[in-house]
Each structure stands twice: as structure tokens, then as C-alpha cells.
């Protein structure tokens, strides 16, 4: 499998696989979600299961283009829509979840339920985004912009685990993972940089397999070989990072919104760590962003 370098190649890859993934859409849809799902259906890689509240499908004839791949799953007795959708995943009847009009907290309550949820013991829920920028020349993955406020050491290790799995699903043979900070100096003044150095050393010993991990690096030196050289920094990332691990939610979220608004970069995102990807786009996201996230999740599922 060749590396997927942009979103068009991601869509081509899904078409070539010929696999149809089953998307459980939880509790209603709005106009942008309808359009995103229509594009997924037209792309030939999706079957849509509307779980819980469902609009009259006759009001949305565009979804009738593939009547054999659009079904309504009512809530089960004693379960709400989120719990029903999670049960479908556990029973192998759906491949991943998409938030409809349900509140994110209610959906995640079902996903994180200790007995009947989707988070295996020892795993953490974290957000991984992927963006196609004008200058990087390949897809750029980054975490976390939505879930973990201040990742602890164990959670950051899991973020690397998930980043490796996601990039491998995109055919990247040797993922380059940059641990970002505002400085490239390792200092006791900034304890996080000490942990970064430990992670880089563990990666060099092969703990994550054929993966390069290094840091601390700032965003520019992570993705710009010229900036790295000008600063006189030697790093195995070589200014060609595939993944940026941000120190906290504030940094990751700011980067996400800066790319999308000021950079006009298309971005997709999924929650990782559970037994399946979870698409939890904001209701303010447009149809393209939601569609890209569906294709992102489908790519990860298809390689699992």
C-alpha cells in the first residue's frame, strides 16, 4: 500500500478497497450531516444506520439514492439512542459511530460506560485530527484538540500508540511523530520536556516499532527542514513530521482552529482509543469537514 498523501488519495483508496462500512448515526441529523452522509453514500463506502430519532426519510430524497444502504434502527427497550448505537458496535452490527443531534456528553457517557461501553481497560479516549495544508506536501495528523485537557504521561503514551495505528492505516511506513513545545531545549524548568526526551529514547530502542519520535520541537521545526537547519537543530524528524503531539488541549484546539479558519485547510477528526472510531464533529462544522471525518474513520476501520 502506498502512502496516502492527501484527501483525494484517501477517497481513491476507499473506492479501490470496495468495502462498505456501517455508520451508526446517533439521534437525528441536520442539513450538513445529511450532505456529508449523501457524499459518503455516493462515494460507495458507506451504509447508514440512523439510530434513535430519525427524520422522515421521504423529506430527504437525496438519501434515497441508495435505499438498500439507509436503514432506521429504533431505540431498544430500556436503552436510549447512544446506548443502542454502542450495543450495535459491541454486537458487530456497525463499524463506527457518528454524532447526530445528540449532545457529545450524552454520546460519550454511553461510549465510556464501564460495563456496556466501548473503551477497553487501560485505554484512553483522545482526539486525532488530520489536515491537508498548502505547504506541507502530505497529510498532517495531530492530537489532542478536543478531549484531554492535560494529558498525563500514560495518556501521552497512548496518544503515540493511536497515532502510530492511524498513520499505518494511511500507509505511512515510518511515521515521524514530533512532540511539540514552545522550546527545543530540554530543561527541568519544563518537566514536560524531560518526558519528551524519555519518549524519544524509548522510540529509538524500538518500543513503537518502525517509528520515529522526537522532541521537544516547536511546530515550525517539526514541519520545516529549513527552520530546523537555521536553528542548528539535529532531529531524526528532519522537519518532516507526520504527527504533532500537542502538550495540552489549549494548544491542540488553537492549532485546529487556526488551520481551519486562517489557513482554510480542510480538517477531519475522530476519537481514538475506543473499540471503534467515533466522529463527533461540532454542529458548526460544514458538510465537507463531516464528510472528511467519515472518510477518515472509514480508512482506519478498513485497515483494522
Mean residue pLDDT across the chain: 93
| Residue 212: predicted pLDDT | 98
Rounded percentage of the chain residues whose pLDDT exceeds 70:
95
| Residue 64: predicted pLDDT | 54
Encode pLDDT of 3-18 as tens digits: 999 999 999 999 999 9
Rounded percentage of the chain residues whose pLDDT exceeds 90:
82
Range from 34-48, 104-118, 206-220 carrying the lowest mean pLDDT: 34-48
Beta strand 212-217 with 243-245 is: unpaired
- SS3 of 187-243: the string is CCCCHHHHHHHHHHHHHHCCCCCCCEEEEEECHHHHHCHHHHHHCCCCCCCCCCCCE
Mean pLDDT value across residues 155-177: 97
| Residue 11: predicted pLDDT | 95
| Residue 71: predicted pLDDT | 84
Residues whose CB falls within 8 Å of the CB of residue 94, separated by 6 or more in sequence, listed in order? 22, 23, 24, 49, 85, 88, 276
Give CA–CA dist 222/178, Å, rounded.
Answer: 6
| Residue 69: predicted pLDDT | 79
**For residue 54, is pLDDT > 90?**
no
**For residue 297, is pLDDT > 80?**
yes
| Residue 188: predicted pLDDT | 93
Encode pLDDT of 73-108 as tens digits: 999 988 999 999 999 999 999 999 999 989 999 999
| Residue 55: predicted pLDDT | 61
Encode pLDDT of 114-126 as tens digits: 999 999 999 999 9
In degrees and rounded to multiples of 5, residue 15 shows phi and psi of -65, -40
| Residue 61: predicted pLDDT | 56
| Residue 63: predicted pLDDT | 55
| Residue 105: predicted pLDDT | 94
Mean pLDDT value across residues 237-244: 97
Encode pLDDT of 256-293 as tens digits: 999 988 989 999 999 999 999 999 987 778 999 999 99
Amino acid at each position: 500500500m502506498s502512502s496516502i498523501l492527501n484527501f483525494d488519495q484517501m477517497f481513491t483508496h476507499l473506492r479501490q478497497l470496495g468495502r462498505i462500512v456501517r455508520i451508526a448515526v446517533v439521534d437525528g441529523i441536520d442539513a450538513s450531516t445529511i450532505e456529508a452522509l449523501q457524499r459518503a453514500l455516493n462515494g460507495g463506502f458507506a451504509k447508514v444506520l440512523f439510530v434513535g430519532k430519525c427524520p422522515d426519510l421521504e423529506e430527504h430524497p437525496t438519501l434515497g439514492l441508495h435505499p438498500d444502504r439507509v436503514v432506521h434502527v429504533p431505540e431498544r427497550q430500556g436503552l436510549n439512542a447512544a446506548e443502542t448505537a454502542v450495543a450495535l458496535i459491541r454486537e458487530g452490527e456497525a463499524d463506527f459511530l457518528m454524532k447526530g443531534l445528540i449532545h457529545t456528553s450524552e454520546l460519550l457517557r454511553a461510549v465510556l460506560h464501564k460495563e456496556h461501553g466501548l473503551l477497553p481497560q487501560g485505554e484512553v479516549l483522545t482526539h486525532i485530527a488530520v489536515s491537508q495544508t498548502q505547504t506541507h506536501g502530505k497529510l498532517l495528523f495531530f492530537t489532542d484538540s478536543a478531549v484531554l485537557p492535560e494529558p498525563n504521561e500514560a495518556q501521552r503514551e497512548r496518544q503515540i500508540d493511536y497515532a502510530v495505528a492511524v498513520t499505518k492505516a494511511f500507509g505511512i511506513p515510518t511515521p515521524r511523530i514530533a512532540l511539540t513545545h514552545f522550546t527545543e531545549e530540554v530543561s527541568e524548568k519544563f518537566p514536560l520536556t524531560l518526558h519528551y526526551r524519555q519518549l524519544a529514547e524509548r522510540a529509538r530502542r524500538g518500543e513503537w516499532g518502525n517509528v520515529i519520535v522526537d522532541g521537544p520541537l516547536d511546530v515550525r521545526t517539526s514541519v520545516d527542514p529549513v527552520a530546523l537547519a537555521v536553528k542548528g537543530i539535529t532531529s531524526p524528524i528532519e522537519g518532516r513530521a507526520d504527527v504533532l503531539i500537542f502538550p495540552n488541549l489549549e494548544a491542540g484546539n488553537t492549532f485546529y482552529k487556526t488551520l481551519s479558519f486562517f489557513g482554510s485547510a480542510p480538517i477531519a477528526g475522530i476519537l481514538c482509543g475506543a473499540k471503534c472510531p467515533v466522529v463527533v464533529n461540532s454542529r458548526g462544522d460544514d458538510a465537507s469537514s463531516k464528510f472528511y471525518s467519515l472518510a477518515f474513520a472509514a480508512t482506519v476501520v478498513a485497515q483494522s
